[in-house]
Structure 1
Amino acid sequence: MTTTYDEWTAAQDSTTVTVDDHEIEMTYRDEGSGDPVVFLHGIPTNSYLFRDQFDAVAAERRAIAPDMIGYGNSAMYDGFDRSIRAQELAIRSLVDEHDFDTIDFVGHDLGGGVGLRYAARTPDAIDRLVLSNSVAYDSWPIQTITDLGLPETARETSVEELQGMLDGLFRDTLFGDDHDEAFLDGMKAPWASEEGVTSVVRNASATNTSHTTEVDPSDVTADTLLLWGTEDEFQPIEWAERLEADIDSCELIGLEANHWVPEDRTAEFTDHLTEFLL
C-alpha cells in the first residue's frame, strides 16, 4: 500500500543547515543502513515525490530524502535564498552533518540541477549520479515558473487559487488519466497556507539559469544514469542527449512519461534506479 503524505511527514527528521549566513531548518527522511543515497526533488514538489523509490533503496542502502529549503516541511519564511546554488549549500551542510565522505545522488528537476552542480564542482564527492528530467545548461526556467515567480503573484494569489492552479498543473502534465490522488494531495499540501503561497513564489523567483550555465557537465566523473521522460514538455529529452554526450560515463534511458517520471512510471523508474544503485 502506498505511503500517505501524512505518514511520510510523520517519519521525517529535522536539522539545521547553513546557507550563506543563515541557519535554516531542513526536514528529511532517513532510513536504512549502508552507503548513503540522497534523493532531491524539484519545483513545486517535495520529497514525497520519491516515496516508492526511497522505500526500495532503503531496503538495501541508507536513503536520505530532504525537503529543499523553502519546500515541503522545511523552513518557508521570507529571508533566505532558495536558488539551486543555495540548495547545493544546504545539501552539502546536511551531508557534512552526517559525516558522509561520498554519496550517490538522485535528482529530479531542480534537484537534478543541484546534483549536477555538486558532481561537477566536487567530482570526488559523488560516486553515482542519477538525473531525471533535470534542469541543465540554459534549459530553464520555463514560462510557467517564471510567471509564478512574479512578486505580485505572492501578494495577489489566494491559497485556494494556488491550490487550484497546482492541481491543474499536475493533472495536465501527469502521463495518462489515472492519477494517484494521494500523490496530488502530497504535492499540494505544503502550499496550503499564506506562508506556502509566498514560499512557492519565492522559490520560483529564485530559478536562475546562471547556476547551471556556470558549471561544465564534462567535469562530472561520477557514473551517471539519465532516467528521462520522453514526452516531457518542460525539459525535453534533447537536453538529456546533450548531457549524455558531455558526461564521460553516462547512460540515457528514455521512459514513456511526461515530466513527473518517478510518478508516471514508478515501477520502471524504480527498477532502473535500483539496478544502477544496488
Structure 2
Amino acid sequence: MTPIDDELRAALQGRASALTPSPDPLAGIERRAQRIRRTRIGAAVAASALAVSAIAVAVPVLQDATSSGPDVPPFATAPASPTPAAASPFALNPLDPWMYRGADLDLLGPGTLKTIETDLGVNYGAASVELTPLFGQVWEPSGKFELFFLADVEMRDGVSQYFWGISETPNDAGPEFLLVEQLDEPAMALAAALPGDEGGRLLAVADPGVGGINYSPDGTPEAVSAMQELFPGVATVFIGAGSATDLLSVVDPSGQEIHRSAVPAVIASEQPSGEPVSVLDP
C-alpha cells in the first residue's frame, strides 16, 4: 500500500468511531414500513368514498333512463290553485254601487224615495229593503219620474239578495214597479225596453267610466251604432217593436267590447194590477 492509502483508511476509521451506532437498526426500518402502509390504506379509503358517491349519483339517472314504471315524486306536492279571473272594474259592485246620475231626486217629492222602498218590501213580502238610486229621469210624454234602483232585499226566511228595478211615480195607487229582477253577477249593464209614444225605447245604465253603449238591430255587426248618451254610462235608443235577436253591447274607453247581451222585450205599457214584471212575486 501506498502512504496515501494508509492515510485514507486511518481517516475513515476515525470517522466511524466518532458516530454513535443505532441501538436497534431494524426499528427504524419497521416504522418507515408502517408509515407507507398507512398512506396506502388512506388513499384506498378515499378512492372507495369517491366510487360510492359516483354510484349514488349514477343509479337514479340510470333508473330514470331505464325504468318503465310510473314516476313517483319524492314527496307529495299540492296542486296549483287556479287563478280566479279578475273582476271587471266596470261591473256593478252592490257594496260600492255606481254613482247616481240623472234628474234631481228632489223631483220625486218629499218622502217618495222612502215610499218606493217601503212599497217594494210590502208588495213582495220582504222583511226589509235598502234601496240605492242609480239613475232617474222625468219621461216628458208622461211627466212621470222613472227611477233605476238597486235593492238589498232580505226575505222573511232571512235570506238576503240583491235586485234591481225601475219604478214610476207619481201614480194614484203609489209607485208602480215597471221591472224588478235579480241582479246578475257580474252586472255590466242594467237595460230595459220601456214603452214610448211610437214604440219601445231601450234604456241602459252602466258604469260612468265605460267608453259607450251600442245597439245592434237583429244582431247585425254592420248595423252596430252608438246609443244616445244621456249621462256618462247612461244611453238610450228607439227600438220600435224590438226583436229577440237585437243586441246590446258595452265598450271600455279604448273601444274594446266588455259586454254583450240580448235586448230585453219591450215592457207592456199597462201592467195588470198587482202583476208587475218581477221575480219577487210571492
Higher strand content, 1 or 2? 2
Specify the structure having the higher radius of gyration (Cα): 2
The structure with the largest helix share of the pair is 1
Higher RCO (C-alpha 8 Å, min separation 6): 1
TM-score range, shorter chain: under 0.3
